[in-house]
Chains A and B, each alone.
Chain A
Amino acid sequence: MDSTIKILLIEGNIRDACLVDDALAGVRGVQYDLDRCERLAQGVDSLESDRYDVVLVDLALPDSNGLATLASIRGAAGPVPIIVLSAFRDRSLARRVVQEGAQDYLVIGQIDSDSLGRAIHYAIERKAVEGRLVTALHEAEEADRAKSEFLSNVSHEIRTPLTSMCNVLSNFAAGIGGRLKGKHEQYVTMLDDDCNRLRALVEKLLNLSRLQAGKVPVEFGSTDVAAVAADAVRGVRREADAKGVALEVEALGHLPEIDADGSLLLQVFTNLIYNAIKFTPAGGSITVRLQDRGGEIYAAVVDTGIGIAPENLKKVFEKFAQVNRKKGGKGAQGTGIGLAICKEIVDLHDGEIWVESVTAKGSTFQFTLPKKERAVRSEKQGPASVEKELVEV
């Protein structure tokens, strides 16, 4: 640091102020410009009207004391680093002061030119680094939020034209404008399929952005995972039959009920099984395997499909990361949103989700659900959950 460092010293005790002044005078190679005031109110005023490189503050002032002093100074100092001066050597206070946003804690009796000069230098550097990190974090959060918002806006905007398209098709089907024949009927059926796909896509996108924004109310409750898996299988049975893929559930032993959100888990099973159907050729098979592993329930969706290349295994749970599973195969489309939704939901349950796969042999998507009692439950659970929360804390 070669230019002058501007310091604000807030110190009620004149002798301590002189000690600091003397110590600063002895620091070689640095110019200090020291302003001093005695009271907190003056200190706050000075910070608001002038620009300083660092603030040295004694927490015991005529008009304020202790951590309250630090809080006021922090509020006024903004990006200016703060060094707390104290008459006492108090380790727990020192730690507390740093946790509350000061850069350092110095005991006045132990100050010398070397230590004070170094403390000031480091405080300024640390604060600058912290500032850059905070800015970067804010920018990242802001970008992520803007992206989610954009996604949600676009999805809403897509709904409007989609509505009139769906209405038109529905009106055709109802016979408005006369009966459709031959190619026209075929075309309308094609349009209808694509409208439904678009509609499902918009729903998924909104669903994912709501999950990520924490806007989906999660309702934990006693849940029979095997029954949920069976429900999911029932829901996609027709697709499996149509494609000629065998589909069965295999539960190893009896599964206890666990604390989970059944409707969210249904989405996980449905997405995974639906994916498996998409990527498994006719004649293949899909097995949903469930197992009680003591502390957790293990679930797997095993297919004999085309598999995933090793380099893509990690990517599949990322949003929009539909890796090229088809590789010249027939157009098995997907957006890669379904798996991102699965991951969000399993994360909400504090579980893990991963995939193992062998190209051309098949994939196994698997996840675990810990069997834990949840401290935070939906509001309707009543006072019992409050007690539990207290116990766990």
Chain B
Amino acid sequence: MGLLVALLTIVVGILAVFVVGLLRSHADILRALHDTGVSLDPANATARTTAHPGDATTFSTSAPTIRTVEGVPEPAGASGQRAHDITGTTPNGGTRSVAVTGTDSATLVAFLTTGCATCANFWHAFAEGVQLPADARLVIVAKGPEAESPADVSALAADHVLTIQSSQAWDDYGVPVAPYFVLVDGRRGVVVGEGAANTWESVRNLLDRALADAGYSGSQVRRRDLLLGKARTERVDRDLRAAGIEPGDPRLYHAPEEPS
């Protein structure tokens, strides 16, 4: 009997150690989530959390949460922050202004540096070409020549991607970290989404949701695209693909049949 009691005592002791370990591990996870800006408190579900300046916040779900750090304006979906047109220098030494307000399109402003490893992925992705939703326009903004070498920017910038150096733009948009992305609704001239991300997929998720909220629906055909025949071209490509006809298919090039 005494032996049985001793055995049970030992088992209960071991289980208690396991439970304490699990509780500590759970607390560590909650603390880490809190530090990255995620609150799991149901009573605080709508409250925005803050991250520390310099922390690279990431979007970890398919429905990204837009977070801001202290001192950075809330996304315009909540605050209606006015967007600023961008003026700066180009990698080839010119001066350039970009109208992101007073236009009929949305603009994705990508704030990148030449030094950060995550930014390098975006420089590469943008040079390769990315598909922007609702034909949003992409503008890469690096800091001005006083902070970033124009030669370094030029080495990373692709000719076909609009790239500007402007420290003023970084100040205007209160950019806290790099890479950082700001989506501007050109019709209303306001920021409709902003945040940091590690991958293009995360940015794309942010864009899709913010553009849909701003009324740039995916099914909407812009007047510019309609008049340039872009929508028709895309529809024909889609229909051909659905029929199993890919670019280069010999059936696209056969001689027309003579009417009988």
Q: Do A and B come from one complex?
A: no
